[in-house]
Amino acid sequence: ELKVEQNPLFLSMQEGKNYTIYCNYSTTSDRLYWYRQDPGKSLESLFVLLSNGAVKQEGRLMASLDTKARLSTLHITAAVHDLSATYFCAGESNFGNEKLTFGTGTRLTIIP
Amino acid sequence: DAGVIQSPRHEVTEMGQEVTLRCKPISGHNSLFWYRQTMMRGLELLIYFNNNVPIDDSGMPEDRFSAKMPNASFSTLKIQPSEPRDSAVYFCASSPGAAEKLFFGSGTQLSVL
């Protein structure tokens, strides 16, 4: 069964700084997803990474996938307060099976 | 499109009562998912449907939980009888198909007293 681990669980960082959230998964998975959740709100899709070496960027966020290392990263550049949220990664258990297993989430707080 | 629509937004009930959560997926999406979110267990997939057929229900906690998708535009998740440990936020999500992102509804906050 696929296990997805994120670290750190909590991250407090100052505006303008850079940081990386890590997502490790336990079994072969070619696809990795990142979601954002604001407090009391629903989840919003950020990135879909479909192959080894995939890199996607949107604004100050950049996600990458290394399937050989079973690792995905979410890099935050020059953080701003609006990025404060909980970030989840999720992996698919088996090719063709849409079942997503979510990580525990990283609660990010950007301090002015 | 209005997105994935869930109802009710909040439900407070007493232990032993039946609870029914409802979901309308985005039109044209082939897959529908029910997730449960708690502080202790995070986000758990309960069941998912593809073309109205249940594909994986291994996450359904026990027989008290049941889900149906009678047509492409409607799904229900029923808990009977409800217990305090069922208190959680229940999310419905839909997607166009494999390797596509999920679109989540606003969730139903369930409190069982």
Query: What pLDDT score was predicted for residue A46?
Result: 97
DSSP symbol at A9:
S
- Residues, chain A, total? 112
Residue B38, chain A, CB below 8 Å: the answer is no
Q: What is the pLDDT of residues B100-109, one digit of tens each?
A: 899 999 999 9
Residues B85-109, mean pLDDT to the nearest whole number = 94
Q: Show residues of chain A in contact with B34, CB under 8 Å.
A: none
Residue among A42, A48, A99 minimizing CB distance to B104 = A42
Phi, psi of A81 (to 5 degrees): -55, -35
CB contact under 8 A, A48 and B101: yes
CB contact under 8 A, B104 and A43: yes
A81: exposed, middle or buried (Cβ count in 10 Å: 0-12, 13-18, 19+): exposed
Residue among A41, A48, A99 minimizing CB distance to B45 = A99
CB contact under 8 A, B33 and A98: yes
Q: Check if the beta carbon of residue A5 is closer than 8 Å to that of residue A72.
A: no
Q: Check if the beta carbon of residue B39 is closer than 8 Å to that of residue B46.
A: no
Residue B91, chain A, CB below 8 Å: the answer is yes
Q: What is the pLDDT of residues B43-80, one digit of tens each?
A: 999 999 999 999 999 999 889 999 999 999 999 999 99
Residues A39-61, mean pLDDT to the nearest whole number = 93
Query: What pLDDT score was predicted for residue B2?
Result: 82
Query: What pLDDT score was predicted for residue A94?
Result: 65
Report the distance separating Cα A64 and Cα B89, nearest Å. 30
Q: Show residues of chain A in contact with B93, CB under 8 Å.
A: 43
Report the distance separating Cα A31 and Cα A93, nearest Å. 9
- Residue A43 to residues A26, A33, B108, B109, B113, Cα–Cα distance (Å): 23, 12, 13, 14, 26
Residues A50-61, mean pLDDT to the nearest whole number = 91
